Chains A and B, each alone.
Chain A
Amino acid sequence: MEFPGSTATGISLLSAVRMPINLRLYYEIAIRAFRRASVYRAAYVAGILTNAFFAALRCFVYLAVYHAGTSVAGFSPNDAITYTWLTQALISIGAGWLAWDLMQTIRSGDVITDLSRPWSFYGYWLSRSLGERCFNLLLRGSVTYLIGFLFFAARLPHLTEALAFVVAIGLALLVSFAYGFIVNLTAFWLIDNTGVMLIANIVLTFFSGFLLPLAFFPPWLRQVALLLPFQAITSLPAEIWLGHLTGAAVWRAFAVQAGWALVLMLLAIRMLHFAMRKVVIQGG
């Protein structure tokens, strides 16, 4: 894997090729981010409980509106329950929530340290994010889902579905990271970009299918959602988990995800390039 991000330095993509990629470094960054996420036990226990609470709440709504044995837009009651627990389990890896950490370093001016390193700034944040989210997935995500499995009979997929899901999650992480990076980066221009972050978060929550499966959208709105990158973050992995996508459809989903991952990453790096040119570091 390559991080074409020495653009962080205002140098073109070419220099990333000239400069040998220090893969070991990005691995070491990810490991530390993983360890750091594991430091705050109270935080992740609270996170699991909150996610499970809202998952249960959302399930009770579904159970109330579903008539026994019926299915809505291709979703059986169990599908709806599974979808709910899955998306709640994926919150901590970006399914319905944007990370604010990069934006905070820009506002405080601490970004100065990360900018004065001989590394790809994009690669650094990507590794950090992947390390942290791996921890979240392994602990927060799986425990949350386990609760859904035990108390609400949320579905467990077959082996092939599970494997496809792992690939889809990997791609989803790349898409959600790039999107979050772009949104966070607006802090370089706006200083107070909380408004942008909030709106970006609502857009993500809605169009990714986190709040409601895209299948439940009115057709025209669904068409809009399918043209946007957000389905790659939540909806596509979830549909694979549910077994709604099989065979060629799975490969098509991967292609859509990979395409958005690439497009957003290039966009993010481009934007970083501009940010660097007008960079203003806050504070003495």
Chain B
Amino acid sequence: MTLIEVEHLRKTFLLAVRQTGRFASLRGLLSRQTRPVHAVSDVSFTVAAGELVGYIGPNGAGKSTTMKMLTGILHPTSGRIKIAGRVPYQERVEHVRRIGVVFGQRSQLWWDLPTIESFALLRHIYRIPLARWQANLQSFSTLLDLEPFLNTPVRQLSLGQRMRADLAAALLHDPAILFLDEPTIGLDVVARERIREFLEHINRENGVTIMLTTHDLADIERLCPRVVLIDHGGVVYDGPLATLRTRFGRWRTLIVDLNQSVDHVEVPDAELLRVEGTRVALRFDRDRTTAAALIAAVAARYPIRDLTVEEPEIESIIRDLYEQPGSLA
């Protein structure tokens, strides 16, 4: 069942251009010159119920802007969004009742009051039946280990504790969809892992559909069977992470162990990365040659004892993609 439908979504901000020269500020008052910034220029995708989708892209790609439109806070300049049959920015109240939102850099908790107070208020905001609220709080407390700081004012929480509390806060009303904008930002390895486990749990066990942005690719590798990669406001890839690897990871490394040590190896269509005694690493472009051809070429010159072909790290693929946007076409 399709839960989220996004078609040709576009958001253009008009930035006021600072006037320069004489009486600049006065002229700025009289005529507001603006310059358009296309934060999101053309984004389309659909998400089925129960999916866990990673929405990734370099800084300024338009991820947060998309998230804000999906949560109904920002009106799109053009394009269509439909979530669970509703247009978020038109039927906002009904929409936000059924979603949970966490913006990693912000907190939805009352800063000066004990954490539990914010949870208690959420019960009234979403009219959560008491028994349901208690059960959820109990379950999240266990999963996220909230117990120790339920009575501590939010301003005294560590970032990791605050993020856990914010996640629980976003889920107390059993939303069908959870939007997360950088939920692991600034957290240490242990805290990240705990949050990943939690997200995996609520996705699997509670069937919550999750869309998350992150710059931590370990989050993606661990959690997201599917990624939507955007750049300059448009979708450049949408599919399984594994396919991203095969499609864009052109560079492979062939590692061969030879019978005797050499100090140089020369084979066509491959670049010598390093030689360590009898072990030789060769880099090749999958589009120009195949592993089989390369192995044959090496074997013809040097007797091979053992070999492996290494796939590129997802991290390096993404880094390449981010660095050369043209490479995606």
Which A residues are closer than 8 A to B by beta carbons?
Answer: 6, 9-11, 15, 19, 22, 24-25, 28-29, 32, 35-36, 39-40, 109-110, 112-113, 115-119, 277-281, 283-284
Contacts and interface: CB of A to CB of B under 8 A. Distances in A.
Which secondary structure characterizes the binding site on chain A?
loop
Given A116-B71, A116-B96, 17 more contacts: A9-B93, A10-B92, A28-B124, A32-B117, A32-B121, A35-B113, A36-B112, A39-B153, A40-B112, A110-B106, A112-B106, A113-B101, A113-B106, A117-B96, A118-B126, A280-B13, A284-B181
Interface string B73-85: 1110000000000
A106 B259 CA distance: 69
B121 A118 contact: no
A21 to B, nearest CB: 12
B115 to A, nearest CB: 13
Contact of A118 (B97, B103, B106): B97
Given A9-B92, A10-B92, A281-B73, A112 B103 contact: yes
B124 A22 contact: yes
A280 B101 CA distance: 18
B289 interface: no
A277 B106 contact: no
Given A116-B101, A279-B75, A28 B121 contact: yes
A191 B56 CA distance: 29
A25 B125 contact: yes
Question: 4 closest pairs, A vs B, by CB?
Answer: A9-B92, A25-B124, A113-B108, A284-B64
Contacts of A284: 64, 105, 181-182
A32 B110 CA distance: 9
B68 interface: yes
Contacts of B106: 109-110, 112-113
Contact of A11 (B68, B93, B117): B93
Nearest to A39: B112
Interface in B46-88: 64, 68, 71-75
Contacts of B127: 22
Interface of B: 13, 64, 68, 71-75, 89-94, 96-97, 101, 103, 105-108, 110, 112-113, 117, 120-121, 124-127, 153, 181-182
B106 to A, nearest CB: 6
B74 A279 contact: yes
A194 B106 CA distance: 23
Given A10-B89, A36-B112, A281 B68 contact: yes
A24 B123 CA distance: 11
A39 B153 CA distance: 10
Contacts of B107: 113
27 contacts: A9-B92, A9-B93, A11-B92, A11-B93, A22-B124, A22-B127, A28-B121, A32-B113, A32-B121, A35-B117, A36-B110, A40-B112, A110-B106, A112-B106, A113-B103, A113-B107, A113-B108, A115-B73, A116-B96, A117-B96, A118-B97, A119-B125, A277-B75, A279-B73, A283-B105, A284-B105, A284-B182
Contacts of A278: 75
B320 to A, nearest CB: 24
B125 A118 contact: yes
B280 to A, nearest CB: 45
Nearest to B126: A118
Contacts of B153: 39
Given A6-B93, A110-B106, A283-B105, A117 B72 contact: no
Contacts of B101: 113, 116
Nearest to B121: A28
A277 B90 CA distance: 10
A1 to B, nearest CB: 16
A29 B189 CA distance: 36
A32 B93 CA distance: 23
Nearest to B63: A284
A102 to B, nearest CB: 15
A125 to B, nearest CB: 14
A10 B64 contact: no
Contacts of A117: 96, 125
B74 A281 contact: yes
Contacts of A280: 13, 74
Nearest to A38: B112
A99 to B, nearest CB: 16
B125 A36 contact: no
Contact of A24 (B96, B97, B110, B124): B124
Contacts of A39: 112-113, 153
A246 to B, nearest CB: 42
A265 B101 CA distance: 30
Contacts of B103: 112-113
A141 to B, nearest CB: 21
Contacts of A35: 113, 117
A116 B72 contact: yes
A28 B128 CA distance: 14
A278 B120 CA distance: 32
